[in-house]
């Protein structure tokens, strides 16, 4: 599985520019899907037909990543930029980014008078080796994603885009293992989650599922001076109860716990007080959906060193398969 993780987490795909990610994921799922669609916004939807006795279920994992976009090229050839999604200024100094054309840029900041402070985004710039706008290989409106290689240290896996390429891996692996299902299952690899869960919103409004399950990362409370949270690396899948954007359907939470207990899958209960997932969009689509989320515990979210545990990833895959292989009664 690490080979698939490496392929996805190192790839380029800021919000709004997910074409390359879609091209990577499609061949991974084609052999396991009965039908594949790409909608107008760019969501990749792989459909697995059930026997007709179950529900319409949407599984959502977002393909996009946070990044930056060029707003101005100075006369000296440096690039000013804006954020795409939740880019944190304190993670920027010395970072490297890659544009769609392969150009690599180094991020640095204007002079810092007080080194105890952090500049806002508009005080950072990207150096791509240009000396003027004329010889600059990128231009205004070009987007870049961060550059950092995948790293495995035992069971701990680190990369720039575990959020949410690891959710995509969970969906892909579940598709491979799901031999049969009573449900009509739509595996949606969604776009533009980092800028407002937009892909899942359009997909859910179109598909109108009975049940929606997001696959995404969540924070942990197991690092020094972390905000108190009952989630740790290595203790299993996280079943979301609530985040700042939604309260998960109580019946779906109960079902997830029952399936995990019956299959001896380790799990944790997640209450997240900041951030949300594609589940929010699914929950309020059309007349409403019974929505929830299987979360992958992740340290250092929205940095270039997001870290998950391989055992937790496996637990998430197993739990999703158990849910989809059996009747869903809420």
Q: Could you tell me the sign of the dihedral formed by the alpha carbons of 200, 25, 83, 100, in that order? A: negative
For residues 38 and 93, state if they share a domain.
Answer: no
- The candidate with the shortest Cα–Cα distance to 218, out of 267, 148, 171, is 267
Residues of the chain below pLDDT 70: none
The domain boundary, picked from 146, 168, 186, lies at 146
Among 28, 65, 173, 193, the one annotated catalytic? 193
The domain boundary, picked from 83, 113, 146, lies at 146
Indicate the burial class of 115 (C-beta count within 10 angstroms; 0-12, 13-18, 19 or more).
Answer: exposed
For residues 74 and 138, state if they share a domain.
Answer: yes
Instruction: Determine, yes or no, domain membership for 155.
Output: no
For residues 136 and 219, state if they share a domain.
Answer: no
Instruction: Determine, yes or no, domain membership for 330.
Output: no
pTM of the model as a whole? 0.96
Instruction: Determine, yes or no, domain membership for 164.
Output: yes
Instruction: Determine, yes or no, domain membership for 96.
Output: yes
Instruction: Determine, yes or no, domain membership for 154.
Output: no
Instruction: Determine, yes or no, domain membership for 26.
Output: yes
Give me the CATH number covering residue 59: 3.40.630.10
**Is 76 designated active site?**
no
Indicate the burial class of 132 (C-beta count within 10 angstroms; 0-12, 13-18, 19 or more).
Answer: exposed
For residues 58 and 123, state if they share a domain.
Answer: no
For residues 122 and 179, state if they share a domain.
Answer: no
Give me the CATH number covering residue 103: 2.40.30.40
For residues 15 and 128, state if they share a domain.
Answer: no
- At 200 the pLDDT is 97
Instruction: Determine, yes or no, domain membership for 131.
Output: yes
For residues 174 and 32, state if they share a domain.
Answer: yes
Q: What is the CB neighbour count within 10 angstroms for residue 327?
A: 12
The domain boundary, picked from 94, 122, 146, lies at 146
- At 114 the pLDDT is 78
> Would you call the peptide bond into 164 cis, given omega within 30 degrees of 0 as the criterion?
yes
- The candidate with the shortest Cα–Cα distance to 79, out of 29, 143, 16, 165, is 143
Q: Yes or no: say if 97 and 105 are a contact pair by the CB < 8 Å rule.
A: yes
For residues 225 and 104, state if they share a domain.
Answer: no
For residues 96 and 198, state if they share a domain.
Answer: no
For residues 121 and 268, state if they share a domain.
Answer: no
For residues 128 and 180, state if they share a domain.
Answer: no
Q: What is the CB neighbour count within 10 angstroms for residue 219?
A: 23
- Count how many domains the chain has: 2
- At 18 the pLDDT is 98
Containing structural domain, residue 285: 2-65+160-325
For residues 174 and 277, state if they share a domain.
Answer: yes
């Amino acid at each position: 599985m690490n080979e698939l993780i490496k392929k996805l987490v190192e790839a380029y795909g800021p919000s709004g520019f997910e074409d390359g990610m879609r091209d990577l994921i499609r061949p991974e799922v084609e052999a396991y899907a009965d039908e594949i669609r790409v909608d107008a916004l760019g969501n990749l939807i792989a459909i697995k037909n059930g026997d007709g006795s179950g529900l319409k279920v949407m599984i959502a994992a977002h393909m996009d990543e946070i990044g930056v976009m060029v707003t101005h090229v100075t006369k000296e050839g440096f690039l000013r930029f804006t954020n795409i999604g939740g880019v944190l200024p304190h993670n920027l100094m010395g970072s490297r980014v890659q544009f769609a054309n392969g150009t690599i840029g180094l991020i640095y900041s204007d002079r810092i008078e007080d080194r105890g402070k952090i500049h806002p985004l508009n005080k950072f710039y990207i150096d791509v080796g240009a000396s003027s706008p004329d010889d600059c290989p990128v231009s205004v409106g070009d987007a870049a994603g961060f550059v950092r290689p995948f790293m495995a240290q035992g069971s701990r896996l680190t990369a720039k885009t575990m959020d949410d390429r690891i959710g995509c891996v969970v969906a892909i692996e579940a598709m491979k293992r799901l031999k049969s299902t009573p449900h009509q299952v739509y595996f949606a690899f969604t776009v533009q989650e980092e800028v407002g869960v937009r892909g899942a919103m359009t997909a859910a409004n179109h598909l109108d599922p009975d049940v929606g399950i997001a696959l995404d990362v969540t924070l942990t409370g197991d690092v020094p001076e972390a905000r108190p949270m009952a989630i740790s690396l290595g203790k299993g899948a996280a079943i979301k109860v609530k985040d700042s954007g939604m309260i998960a359907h109580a019946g779906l939470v109960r079902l997830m716990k029952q399936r995990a207990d019956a299959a001896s899958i380790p799990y944790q209960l997640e209450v997240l007080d900041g951030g949300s997932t594609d589940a929010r969009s699914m929950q309020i689509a059309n007349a409403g959906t019974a929505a929830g989320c299987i979360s992958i515990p992740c340290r250092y979210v929205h940095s270039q060193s997001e870290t998950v545990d391989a055992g937790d990833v496996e637990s998430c895959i197993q739990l999703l398969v158990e849910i989809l292989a059996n009747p869903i009664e809420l």
